Amino acid sequence: MRVAVVGVGAMGRIQVDSYLDDDRTAVRGLCDISAEALSEAARRCPEATVTSDLAVIATDTSIDLVSVCLPHVDHVPTATTLLEADKRVVLEKPIAMNCRDAARLLKASSARPGALVVKSYLRHTRSCQLLHAAVADGLIGSPRLVTSSFASLRRDEGVPRWRLRSEESGGGALLDSGIHLIDFLHWTFGTERTVTASLRTDESGIDLDDVVTLEFEHGPLAVITLTQRSNVSGPCFRIEVFGDSGRALVETTPSGEMHFRAEVGTERRPDRIEAGWWLAAHRAALGTYVDRVSRGEPFDEENPEDAALNVATVDAAYHVAAPAGSQ
Ligand SMILES: NC(=O)c1ccc[n+]([C@@H]2O[C@H](COP(=O)([O-])OP(=O)(O)OC[C@H]3O[C@@H](n4cnc5c(N)ncnc54)[C@H](O)[C@@H]3O)[C@@H](O)[C@H]2O)c1
């Protein structure tokens, strides 16, 4: 199967490597507006067409699948162009910067059902699958409370500039990393009925420290806490679900592992440890999508409608947030 990657920055390079390691895929197109990023990626993919023009990828009828790894502002126009050109599309999260833009993309994808998938990598970790199953199978009883956190370091020197500008990123900690927790909560508990939020922003309006609560209709009260100013290595997160007969959690460790733990009543279940989970989850997600395309099947994984609901929750939180201060 011939694939192309549009945007070969940090995430694009991870996807290129994943496709290069997959016997079923050949990287035949690379697109980026940065000559430097392109030439670095091109060194690893000598057979790829290298271009800064999306139309070259869109009109190449030999390409079956295109990954879009661009700044958030480019997600909707790029994915729309590719869908209209009859491509299968793997879009990085978030589907869009806001609900209005997400609705535009949903319209384009409704003409090609099953052609667009919006990558939600937590669903592809074994630990989060176990946590999801612990709730779905009733292992810990009825879920009452969820506490969750996602901490990352905003490396002002190393972070791409677009992430620091709301016109290009659409938001800060909540849209960028909180959306992973929101996706897990929606996947596990359905849609919330109320959202509250308190955000702390920088001078440009990007939220860096957030507390958001979601109340689920027939499920738990969930608290999401985020910071992009913690001195941690890599994404550092935790999701703990308290049910009326036990609790279960996933938690990352500094050594790059993810742990799943569960207690049912007084019984502690054996811990499950997942090493190298971050890269493995991205690769597992792409492998699943490649499998779909190689079988000629529609994407049955993270669908654009779910991804749009995630953005709707983010929009609601930004809308109701009472500013807790600014720096
Ligand atoms: N799921 C995750 O854990 C995770 C982690 C990192 C990034 N991401 C997502 O991946 C996407 C990309 O993030 P990143 O960190 O790789 O950013 P990045 O800035 O490192 O890479 C973006 C690339 O796109 C290129 N680009 C910008 N505008 C373009 C255009 N119009 N046409 C072609 N190329 C263009 C840039 O030159 C750059 O090389 C974002 O959606 C981000 O949220 C997801």
Determine the pLDDT at residue 254.
Answer: 83
Lowest-pLDDT choice from 177-186, 237-246, 264-273: 264-273
Is 32 a domain residue? yes
Q: State how far the Cα of 299 lies from the Cα of 64, in Å rounded to an integer.
A: 13
How many angstroms separate the alpha carbon of residue 102 from the centre of ligand 1? 18
**How close is the Cα of 298 to the center of ligand 1, in Å?**
25
Do 266 and 244 belong together in one domain? yes
Going by the DSSP 8-state scheme, the letter that residue 206 receives in this structure is -
Same domain, 137 and 252: yes
Query: What residues make up the domain containing 66?
Result: 2-119
Total domains, the chain: 2
* Co-location of 73 and 144 in the same domain: no
Token pair for residue 199?
Answer: 């955000």
Furthest C-alpha separation in the chain: 61
Residue 301 inside a domain? The answer is: no
Q: According to the model, what pLDDT value does residue 218 have?
A: 86
**Structural domain contains residue 246:** yes
Q: Would you say residue 46 has pLDDT above 80?
A: yes
pLDDT at 19: 98
Q: Mean pLDDT over all residues of the chain? A: 95
**Backbone angles phi and psi of 59, in degrees to 5:** -95, 0
Residue 277 CB less than 6 A away from ligand 1: no
- Tens digit of each residue's pLDDT (9 = 90 or more) over 245-265: 999 999 999 888 999 999 999
Query: Coil, helix or strand for 86?
Result: coil
Backbone torsions φ then ψ of 87, nearest 5 degrees: -90, 155
Asked, for residue 227, whether it belongs to a domain, the answer is yes
Q: Are residues 69 and 20 both part of a single domain?
A: yes
Residues 129 and 278 in one domain: yes
The predicted structure's pLDDT at residue 256: 85
Among 119, 139, 167, the domain-final residue is 119
Amino acid at position 199, single letter: L
pLDDT number for residue 248: 98
Instruction: Kindly state the average pLDDT of the residues 240-248.
Output: 97
137-171 pLDDT, tens digit each: 999 999 999 999 999 877 666 789 899 899 999 99
> For the segment 56-93, what is each residue's pLDDT rounded down to a tens digit?
999 999 999 999 999 999 999 999 999 999 999 999 99
pLDDT of residue 158: 74
Give the pLDDT confidence score for residue 115 in this predicted structure. Answer: 98
Give pLDDT, residue 203: 86
Residues 208, 213: Cα–Cα separation, whole Å = 16
Contacts of 134 (CB under 8 A, 6+ apart): 140, 241, 248, 262
Read off the CATH number of the domain in which 153 is found: 3.30.360.10
pLDDT score recorded for residue 204: 85
Sign, CA torsion 228/230/236/237: negative
Structural domain includes residue 315: yes
- Report which listed range, 19-28, 228-237, 261-270, is most confident: 19-28
Q: What span, in angstroms and rounded, lies between the C-alpha atoms of 237 and 132?
A: 16
pLDDT at 106 over 80: yes
Query: pLDDT above 70 covers what percent of the chain?
Result: 97
CA–CA dist 188, 183 (Å, integer) = 8
Q: What is d(CA 216, CA 208) in angstroms, rounded to the nearest whole number?
A: 25
Task: For residue 249, give the nearest of 258, 261, 237 by alpha carbon.
Answer: 261
> Is residue 325 pLDDT above 80, yes or no?
no
Pocket test for ligand 1, best of 5, 70, 179 (most atoms within 8 A of CB): 70
Distance 131 CA to ligand 1 centre (A): 29
A 10 A CB-CB count for 244 gives 9
Quick check: CB of 183 below 6 Å from ligand 1?
A: no
Q: 230 pLDDT band (50/70/90 cuts)?
A: confident
Report how far ligand 1's centroid is from the alpha carbon of 217 (Å). Answer: 35
Q: Is the pLDDT of residue 327 over 90?
A: no
User: Please, which pLDDT band fits residue 324 given cuts at 50, 70 and 90?
Assistant: low
Model's pTM, two decimal places?
0.96
